[in-house]
Amino acid sequence: MKIIKDIKAELKNIVLSRTFDTILPPLIFALVNNFFNLNYALILAIFTALALILKRFIKKENWKYSWGGLFIVLFASALTLLTDNASSYFLPAIFSSSILLIITLTSIILGKPIAAWASHISRSWPLAWFWRKDIKPAYQEVSIFWAIFIALRLIIQIILFQSASPLFLAWANILLGWPFTITILIISYIYGLWRLKNLGGPGVEEFKNDKNPPWEGQKKGF
């Protein structure tokens, strides 16, 4: 089916190889800390992040996400050492979820939905197209959907953090990270295209070419 091929293409552009670099270090930390001690867990997590950078460099792959992963590992490790609490390793994830929720809710309240900004930045589509009355509701509704997901993830992270269970928190962060995010993106893509069709607005190319109605609407990409 065409929709399946489109979704695969979208996910390939979004995910690439960055998933592995972001989930492996915290998983190593949680597993090692569960069976050994905090210091070993921190050392191996940092070593894992460095090894991933080296691997990307040798294979001449995109390694900027590995550097981002290393920064997060170092920051989380510093928090863990300062608090002497293994669960503190996952505070950056809780903090990022909180900030993202605030940004998403603010964009919805201001009527400039974050889903539209994300699409504009990644696709370079005209910003004016997103703010049309026959286009924006689709992105507003998807942004509300994102806000619900982010809030749910944050609640689960806080509950597990308070339970002081690093291993459970690690698995929750992994499952509520890329796997759940990919599911959200697929649903957003399918719903977004369906909603744009019902709104009856022009497609991006039709908008660029200043085409008069009736429009065919957006056929691919959201």
Instruction: Give domain status of residue 217, yes or no.
Output: no
Separation CA 26–CA 69 (nearest Å): 10
Predicted structure pTM score: 0.70
| Sign of the torsion formed by the C-alpha atoms of 73, 16, 52 and 31 | positive
Instruction: Give domain status of residue 102, yes or no.
Output: yes
- Which amino acid is located at 111 in the chain? G
Would you write out the chain's pLDDT as a tens digit for each of its 222 residues?
555 666 566 555 555 545 566 667 766 766 676 666 667 777 887 888 888 778 777 777 666 666 766 776 777 677 666 666 666 667 777 887 899 899 999 999 999 999 999 899 878 899 999 999 999 999 999 999 999 999 988 898 888 777 766 667 667 766 776 677 778 888 898 999 999 999 999 999 999 999 988 899 998 888
Instruction: Give domain status of residue 218, yes or no.
Output: no
Q: List C-alpha distances in Å: 3 to 192, 193, 204.
A: 12, 10, 18
Cβ atoms within 10 Å of 45's Cβ, excluding its own:
27
Instruction: Give domain status of residue 50, yes or no.
Output: yes
Domain with 199, as residue range(s), is 2-208
Which of 168, 176, 171, 179 shows the shortest CA–CA distance to 152?
A: 176
What pLDDT, on a 0 to 100 scale, did the predictor assign at position 148? 95
| 176, 43 Cβ separation under 8 angstroms | no
Q: Tell me how many domains the chain contains.
A: 1
**Token pair listed for 23:** 């989930």
Place of tokens 């796997």: 179
Which of 186, 185, 180 shows the shortest CA–CA distance to 157?
A: 180
Instruction: Give domain status of residue 58, yes or no.
Output: yes
Instruction: Give domain status of residue 221, yes or no.
Output: no
What pLDDT, on a 0 to 100 scale, did the predictor assign at position 78? 74
